[in-house]
């Protein structure tokens, strides 16, 4: 029987500590939509998505209401579109038409983002992959809800430096194409090393080719809940700290497990995974930087931050793994800057730099995320930052990502605003020294050695 | 049986439990368990209720409870029991 204190603990987590289910994401395979005729591809894509996900938003809201925990986002991920359009698309504009079909389908079923405008080019690019990448600036400027992700490297294959260099140009072109909205297009574009096939979080969600026809993946959240629990154990030793994070992560993840099973049952679609990520929002108190502060750092970015983040990431996984029957996706702590109010503040006062964030990505889930940089940052420098991040992922056998926003027309200290969950922040400085001769070499970085671990 | 947990928090005064219980009686909702404490003039209450015979949805139940809450100056919420079992039991 439920006890009084347990009931109120749960109620307070929602009412005061921002506990929510961040996303229910339906993965949909579009492999059966491939056709040599572009009109047919667009129609099949639109029809399959709108039929598969017609009840997604309603069911998500119903479950949220019954259990009293809000489901913030309902989203869709699809098979990487580079594959789906390869037979039909002869120009980048052809791919843009598929992007518009995805956008129309997303609007029809009422989801706020659809991910999978993607190409997996970690070893090489097909003609279709290249056309899709070239179409990204126009695709993201002319659609509202489509998200794009490109896989540029993996531990098994190495890093495709030709694609890294190209993405330096594409990120800048996307920024230029959406400069009217503080280069918002770049917030919907992420590059990966070792991307998971079942990630429910945007902008990097896509439905891997080894996945089932349709699947339900759930991303939980809860930085505010963890912070609140840590407030109660100030000054206690690391054992107590770790145990507290682990127990809290267990409870938060149980909510995700329940919602995933229930959504799966009501929609008649198999349950895929629960993603254990601690995902912050711009809401006060819903912040990873606040947790780091609570652990003992004056501000996120101070010496000790990387160790604190390593503890947080590991304990979240240890607690969460036991709470769910299938764990997947990114599963860890996200460290976006604009989406996390306290992280943005730490960057603003100079406690947190791009270089420290890079170090933090070695121990956290994902990578350099939602960082506004000056609009005049050279394309080659963006490619260099990507190459560094891909190398960290490749060597450490982990997922890393880069989502940088070069805000056209703005410089260091100017304010960039993206709205809603994407948040806002001042523009961070980037190392001024060049790397053009390195990233312009062309070719691939070979896969790392899998022995002699030091 | 479909069990729902109703939680109430607010400033204590005469008639809170009576008003909430009346609402349940009027809506064919059976009270299975009731626990409450008061401290420094505030009340925390939890009820486990059986909503099998209730005609509406959880959203409608919450709307009704919101109106009752306004009347007695408390915040009242209804949630399916399973969320509590999942979070607090292995």
CB-CB contact of A92 with A138 (8 Å): yes
pLDDT at B90: 85
Asked whether the predicted pLDDT for residue A421 surpasses 90, the reply is no
CB-CB contact of A424 with A338 (8 Å): yes
B7, β-bridge pairs: B46, B77
Q: How far is A424 from chain B (nearest CA, A)?
A: 33
Q: Do B88 and A66 touch (CB under 8 A)?
A: no
Asked whether the predicted pLDDT for residue A318 surpasses 90, the reply is yes
CA–CA distance, B65 with B9 (Å, rounded to integer): 12
pLDDT at A454: 67
Instruction: Examine domains A27-193 and A218-375+384-444 and report if their fold is the same.
Output: yes
Where are chain A's structural domains?
A: 27-193, 218-375+384-444
| pLDDT tens for each residue of A68-95 | 999 999 999 999 999 999 999 999 999 9
Plot region of A35 (φ>0 → left; ψ -120 to 50 → alpha; else → beta): beta
Q: Do A68 and B77 touch (CB under 8 A)?
A: yes
| pLDDT tens for each residue of A234-291 | 999 999 999 999 999 999 999 999 999 999 999 999 999 999 889 898 888 899 999 9
Which tokens belong to A135?
């179409």
Mutate to test the interface with A, among B81, B83, B90 (most CBs of A within 10 A): B83
Q: Do A6 and B77 touch (CB under 8 A)?
A: no
CB-CB contact of A293 with A341 (8 Å): no
| Angle value at C-alpha A345, between A340 and A390, nearest 5 degrees | 60
- Exposure class string for A357-368: b at 16+ Cβ within 10 A, else e: bbebbbbbbbbb
DSSP A452: S
Q: Do B35 and A3 touch (CB under 8 A)?
A: yes
Q: What percent of chain A has pLDDT over 70?
A: 100
Other beta carbons less than 10 A from residue A91's beta carbon = 11
What residues of chain B, 31 to 90, have a C-beta less than 8 Å from chain A?
33, 35-37, 44, 46, 48, 57-59, 62, 75, 77-88
Which tokens belong to B70?
């306004």
Cβ-based contacts under 8 A for chains A and B: 67
Task: Give the residue numbers in A contacting B (CB under 8 Å), as ranges.
Answer: 1-4, 6-11, 15, 65-69, 251, 254-255, 257-258
Which tokens belong to A440?
């312009």
Among candidates A3, A4, A67 on the partner chain, residue whose Cβ is nearest the Cβ of B83: A67
CA–CA distance, A221 with A187 (Å, rounded to integer): 20
SS in 3 state form for B31-88?
EEEEEEEEECCEEEEEEEEECCCCCCCHHHHHHHHHHHHHHHCEEEEEEECHHHHHHH
Q: Which fold has domain A218-375+384-444?
A: Anaerobic Ribonucleotide-triphosphate Reductase Large Chain (3.20.70)
CB-CB contact of A326 with A309 (8 Å): no
**Residue A135 CA to its chain's centroid (Å):** 21
Show residues of chain A in contact with B9, CB under 8 Å: 8, 11
CB-CB contact of A98 with A41 (8 Å): yes
Q: Do A2 and B77 touch (CB under 8 A)?
A: no
Show residues of chain A in contact with B31, CB under 8 Å: none
Show residues of chain B in contact with A19, CB under 8 Å: none
Residue among A140, A142, A141, A395 nearest A150 (CA):
A140
Listed in sequence order, the residues at least 6 apart from A39 whose beta carbon sits closer than 8 Å to its beta carbon are none
pLDDT at B2: 81
Q: What does each C-alpha distance from A192 to A153, A337, A369, B78 come to in angstroms?
A: 7, 18, 11, 42
A333, β-bridge pairs: A278
Q: What is the CATH number of domain A27-193?
A: 3.20.70.20
pTM: 0.94
Domains and CATH numbers, chain B: 3-88 (3.30.70.260)
What is the mean pLDDT of the segment spanning B56-73? 94
pLDDT at A283: 86
Other beta carbons less than 10 A from residue B13's beta carbon = 11
CA–CA distance, A421 with A281 (Å, rounded to integer): 6
| pLDDT tens for each residue of A363-392 | 987 899 999 999 999 999 999 999 999 999
Listed in sequence order, the residues at least 6 apart from A44 whose beta carbon sits closer than 8 Å to its beta carbon are A30, A32, A33, A35
């Amino acid at each position: 029987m439920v006890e009084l204190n347990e009931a109120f603990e749960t109620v307070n987590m929602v009412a005061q500590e921002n506990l929510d289910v961040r996303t229910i994401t339906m993965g949909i395979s579009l492999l059966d939509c491939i056709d040599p005729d572009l009109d047919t591809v667009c129609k099949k894509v639109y029809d399959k998505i709108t039929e598969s996900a017609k009840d997604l938003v309603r069911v998500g809201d119903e479950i949220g209401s019954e259990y009293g925990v809000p489901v913030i986002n309902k989203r869709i991920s699809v098979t990487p579109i580079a594959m789906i359009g390869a037979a039909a698309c002869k120009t980048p504009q052809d791919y843009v038409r598929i992007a518009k079909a995805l956008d129309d389908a997303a609007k029809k079923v009422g989801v706020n983002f659809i991910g999978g405008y993607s190409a997996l080019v970690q070893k090489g690019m097909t003609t279709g992959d290249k056309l899709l990448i070239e179409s990204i600036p126009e695709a993201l400027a002319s659609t509202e809800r489509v998200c794009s992700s490109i896989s540029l490297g993996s531990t098994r294959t190495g890093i495709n430096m030709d694609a890294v260099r190209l993405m330096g140009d594409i990120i800048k072109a996307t920024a230029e194409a959406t400069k009217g909205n503080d280069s918002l297009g770049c917030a919907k574009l992420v590059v990966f090393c070792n991307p998971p096939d079942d990630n429910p979080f945007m902008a990097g969600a896509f439905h891997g080719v080894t996945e089932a026809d349709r699947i339900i993946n759930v991303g939980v959240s809860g930085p505010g809940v963890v912070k609140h629990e840590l407030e109660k154990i100030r000054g206690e030793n690391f054992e107590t700290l770790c145990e507290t994070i682990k127990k809290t992560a267990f409870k938060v993840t149980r909510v995700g497990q329940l919602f995933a099973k229930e959504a799966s049952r009501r929609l008649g679609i198999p349950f895929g995974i629960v993603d254990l990520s601690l995902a912050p929002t711009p809401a006060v108190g819903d912040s990873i930087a606040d947790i780091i502060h609570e652990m003992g750092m004056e501000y996120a970015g101070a010496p000790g931050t990387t160790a604190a983040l390593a503890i947080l990431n590991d304990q979240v996984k240890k607690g969460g793994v036991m709470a769910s029957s299938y764990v997947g996706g990114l599963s860890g702590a996200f460290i976006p800057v604009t989406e996390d109010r306290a992280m943005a503040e730490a960057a603003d006062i100079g406690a947190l730099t791009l270089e420290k964030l890079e170090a933090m990505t070695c121990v956290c889930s994902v990578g350099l995320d939602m960082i506004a940089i000056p609009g005049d940052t050279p394309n080659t420098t963006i490619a260099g930052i990507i190459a560094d991040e891909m190398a960290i992922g490749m060597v450490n056998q982990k997922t890393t990502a880069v989502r940088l926003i070069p805000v056209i027309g703005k410089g260091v200290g100017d304010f960039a605003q993206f709205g809603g969950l994407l948040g806002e922040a001042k523009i961070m400085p980037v190392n001024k020294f060049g790397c053009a001769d390195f990233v312009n070499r062309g070719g691939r970085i070979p896969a790392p050695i899998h022995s002699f671990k030091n | 049986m479909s069990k729902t947990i109703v939680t109430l928090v607010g400033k204590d005064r005469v008639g809170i439990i009576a008003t909430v219980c009346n609402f349940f009686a009027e809506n064919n909702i059976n009270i299975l368990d009731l626990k409450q404490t008061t401290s420094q003039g505030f009340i925390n209450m939890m009820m486990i209720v059986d909503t099998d015979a209730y005609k509406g949805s959880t959203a409608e139940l919450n709307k009704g409870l919101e109106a009752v809450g306004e009347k007695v100056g408390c915040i009242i919420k209804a949630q399916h029991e399973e969320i509590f079992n999942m979070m607090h039991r292995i």
